[in-house]
Amino acid sequence: MSAMVRLFVAAWPNVDVLRRVGLIPRPAEPGVRWVSEQNWHITLRFIGDAGADEVADRLAAADHPTATARLGPALEPLGQRQLVIPVHGVDALARSVRSATAGVGKTDRRPFRGHLTIARLGPSAHSTVVGHPIQAQFEIDEIALVTSDLQSDGAVYTTVARFPTG
C-alpha cells in the first residue's frame, strides 16, 4: 500500500496553449501571487490525501472520454481567492474521473467548474487583468495523476502517472 500524499487529477495544456496563456499581462499587484507556468493545469478532481497506487489503479481501470478543452473567453475570479481562465468542454471527462475515484480522498462538495488558475488572491486583493480576453483550445489525449507538495513559495507538482483518453 502506498503512503498518503496530496493528489489531484489534471489535464496539462499543450505548448500552444501555454504560449497563449503566457501572453496574459501579470502586473505586480498587492496580494496577487501569479501561478508559475509549470503549474498551469486544468484540475479534473482534487483528491487530497490518498494513496497514489489506489488512485492510479482506479484511473487505469476506467475509460475516460476524449475532450476538447476550450479556454476563455476572458479571465474571471473564482470565489474570492483565485483568478482563472474558464475552461469548457471537459465536464464529461471530469465526471469519468470523479466516478473512477469515488470514495477516495476528499468528498466532492461543489459541482465541477472547469478552469485554469493563473493567480491566487490574498484577502481583499483584486487584479486589473480580470476581463482580459483569451481564447485557446486543445485536445486532451491523456490525464495525469499529480502530487502536490506545498512549499512556502508555492506548490510543487509532480506527475506520478498518465492515463490515455478515448
Q: How many residues does the chain have?
A: 166
Structural domain containing residue 26: 4-164
Q: What is the pLDDT of residue 155?
A: 79
Q: What is the pLDDT of residue 2?
A: 63
What is the reported pTM?
0.93
Measured distance CA(145)–CA(26) in Å, rounded: 28
The DSSP secondary-structure symbol of 152 reads T
β-strand 67-71 against 82-88: which pairing, if any?
antiparallel
Q: What is the pLDDT of residue 12?
A: 98
Cβ contact 154:36 at 8 Å: yes
Under the phi-then-psi rule, with left for phi > 0, alpha for psi from -120 to 50, and beta for the rest, what region is 98? alpha
**43-87 confidence digits (pLDDT tens):** 999 999 999 999 999 999 999 999 999 999 999 999 999 999 999
CA diameter of the chain: 47
At residue 8, does pLDDT exceed 90?
yes
Q: What is the pLDDT of residue 143?
A: 98
Closest alpha carbon to 13 in 3, 24, 4, 2: 24
Assign 1 a pLDDT band (cuts: 50, 70, 90): very low
**113-151 confidence digits (pLDDT tens):** 999 999 999 999 999 999 999 999 999 999 999 999 877
Q: In total, how many domains does the chain have?
A: 1
CB atoms within 10 A of CB 151: 8
Q: What is the pLDDT of residue 42?
A: 98
Helix (H) or strand (E) holding 93: helix 91-100
Query: What CATH code is carried by the domain that includes residue 22?
Result: 3.90.1140.10
